[in-house]
Structure 1
């Protein structure tokens, strides 16, 4: 029976939940990549772009230092490392899950030592040295199929193929010669999928025999790598068959030539909408990771698709604080507004508590915690919580005198501190909240909502500090937060 989802993909220190689609953002630190070559060649610009993609919805940043476009010029491992090592190091230091797109074992090993979590090998771990890197580390492994036959996957199958030559200024069509009379719109699926799935299965077994856990392996059929558009369409239509092999499946079609062929988008950068459509088709068939250039656009499309097509309610907790005006009333109104957020409801709210000021805030704060259920993507929910703050007159630090930044009064503060099965890093949102375990003003209110929050959070991987080591200690109870 076809499995529709997978619990986790184990990648180094990270366990990526695949109960919903995940986005791998493409970060090419190259001068010649087909879509964005040269845009991020500078390390500082590349790091900034990687961090921006996290805020746009990327779960993983895939860093590459060598183009694999048709006609690309190979680079040495040393040159590739010089390009990507500063970027990988900086993104890892920010807490990002970093994938390294490389075919060089020495580069992969170096990046794993820096803290990268995934090796994305376009040659499919056919190099025994790359297999050893996988065996010697705990990295996630992406096995990609790259057809080395320039004549395509099924040269014995008659086809009439139109390819779009991205190197031509006007995107003119280059016809592939007709090898024999054509009677069907697409080549036969069976011989193509035997080759693709046979290779992916063989390489997975090589990794398994080397000691790589099955939960670390992900498959990628390699769209566009010496494949005709007809063959790529056949492969995409067979996504459900590849998913049934029992490994997470990566959909890496972003801006590829065949995407332009089926959509009519001749310019590379105009293919993002078509890319999103094909990604959604793959997700609908069971793929759970998509690799894309335009993270913001594809994230928006996938979030909308997932919200209307899948029941995916998750538990979460929002920490609330107020130190202006009728503080308890502000907490109650915030809970009411959170309950009005689409695809979200408040299950329960703790009592309000007086707490000591913390993190530079000048006055005592009234705090509470709301338990919620939500079907929104965490970043979408975070935007809605910011709207709640705005509606209650929250003045943000950016609008204050710099001397008051972080310490000024706040009508309401809404911190999304935890969502079931979710981990994320970014300037906009980090989950679980990095300071959750040290905040007495969160842990104590959570005791109103569950028997043992310390044990609950420990199970979720959050260490709760002993009370004497916490900040923002609770000093008094202020009563019930009446919101219903």
Structure 2
């Protein structure tokens, strides 16, 4: 079976757009690779900080992505770029809740990108469907929030924390360690009641260029397990180090290349700033894959 026909599934404890009721909850099924669009309601994100602080601007971008065929919107109110300073929960909630509430009922999946259980809880009450936690649900309260709400979660690997993660990251075998961590955390949080998980190797989060390249080459190994894989390398420094593109906003061509590679290796979702354009690229790539197989 080629990558464009490969089935993927997430389960939720409540209705979500496009899901079907099953004995285990609501099952969201898709084939091939779909796109998660980035919507940062922050002033300091590394690529688009400040662009979506106003509700009208954020909604316009969200609706453009939805209309272009983006599968899920990932809404964040705190930057996790290297060296980023944390914000308090009240500030984060002020940034994300109006946007989540405005998008509820617009037939698009909503993810809340947060490290804070209290933010995740309020976002889920407001209409979010999935929790995307760059700390891998390290906080037991985050596990309890997701399990209690019946929300799926994205588990990401990060060595250290955002302010220090790029200070000499070290691994013995980066692929074995990252994949082992993700699979162990997936088993733990599902055993604690979280209905389903995405796995994200955390490109750029406590990794050197060589670590990132090793993980990108090994997407197929991570995707060989039961849990769908999310690849999130949009506009990251890795592209600059490979291709010499110092301005993050100019890295979309490299982002498309990295994520098309991940899709061909079995990634179920790819997370991008230029999300609508990525939908187009994946549709063309999928058509080519089907033609080659036939």
Q: Normalised by the size of structure 2, how large is the TM-score?
A: 0.89
Secondary structure of 1:51's counterpart equals helix
Secondary structure of 2:111's counterpart equals strand
| CA distance in 1: counterparts of 2:11 and 2:104, whole angstroms | 17
**1:225 matched to which residue of 2?**
205
Secondary structure of 2:198's counterpart equals strand
Secondary structure of 2:104's counterpart equals helix
Q: Is the 8 A contact 2:124 2:149 kept in 1?
A: yes
- Report the alpha carbon displacement of residue 18 of structure 1 after superposing the two structures with TM: 2.7
| CA distance in 1: counterparts of 2:78 and 2:170, whole angstroms | 24
- Pairs within 5 Å for 1:275-424: 275-310=255-290
- Report the alpha carbon displacement of residue 57 of structure 1 after superposing the two structures with TM: 2.2
Secondary structure of 1:204's counterpart equals helix
Is 1:274 aligned with 2:254?
A: yes
Partner deviation per Cα, 1:253-276 (whole Å, 9 max, x = no partner) = 100100222223222111111111
* Residues paired across the two proteins, number: 275
Equivalent of 1:58, from 61, 70, 79? 70
- Report the alpha carbon displacement of residue 17 of structure 1 after superposing the two structures with TM: 2.5
**1:117 matched to which residue of 2?**
129
Partner deviation per Cα, 1:68-107 (whole Å, 9 max, x = no partner) = 0111110011110011000011111323210000000011
- Pairs within 5 Å for 1:154-165: 154=171
Partner deviation per Cα, 1:356-396 (whole Å, 9 max, x = no partner) = xxxxxxxxxxxxxxxxxxxxxxxxxxxxxxxxxxxxxxxxx
Partner deviation per Cα, 1:11-36 (whole Å, 9 max, x = no partner) = 44233333121110000000000000
**CA distance 1:220–1:81, change in 2 (3 Å):** same
Is 1:193 aligned with 2:145?
A: no
Bigger radius of gyration, 1 or 2?
1
- Pairs within 5 Å for 1:135-284: 135-148=147-160, 150-154=167-171, 191-213=173-195, 216-284=196-264
Is 1:92 aligned with 2:104?
A: yes
**1:10 matched to which residue of 2?**
11
| 5+ long unaligned stretches in structure 1 | 157-190, 313-484
Secondary structure of 1:93's counterpart equals coil
Secondary structure of 1:38's counterpart equals coil
Q: Is the 8 A contact 2:8 2:32 kept in 1?
A: no
Partner deviation per Cα, 1:401-420 (whole Å, 9 max, x = no partner) = xxxxxxxxxxxxxxxxxxxx
Q: Is the 8 A contact 2:8 2:268 kept in 1?
A: no
**Which has a greater percent of helix?**
2
| 5+ long unaligned stretches in structure 2 | 20-27
| CA distance in 1: counterparts of 2:210 and 2:8, whole angstroms | 33
Q: Normalised by the size of structure 1, how large is the TM-score?
A: 0.55
Q: Is the 8 A contact 1:64 1:84 kept in 2?
A: yes
| Higher RCO, Cα 8 Å, sep 6+ | 2
Secondary structure of 1:306's counterpart equals helix
Secondary structure of 1:61's counterpart equals strand
| CA distance in 1: counterparts of 2:231 and 2:8, whole angstroms | 18
Q: How big is the alpha-carbon RMSD for the aligned residues of Structure 1 and Structure 2?
A: 1.9
| CA distance in 1: counterparts of 2:253 and 2:187, whole angstroms | 36
Q: Is the 8 A contact 2:44 2:79 kept in 1?
A: yes
Q: Is the 8 A contact 2:8 2:228 kept in 1?
A: no
Q: Is the 8 A contact 1:22 1:289 kept in 2?
A: yes
- Pairs within 5 Å for 1:101-116: 101-116=113-128
- Report the alpha carbon displacement of residue 147 of structure 1 after superposing the two structures with TM: 1.0
Partner deviation per Cα, 1:159-180 (whole Å, 9 max, x = no partner) = xxxxxxxxxxxxxxxxxxxxxx
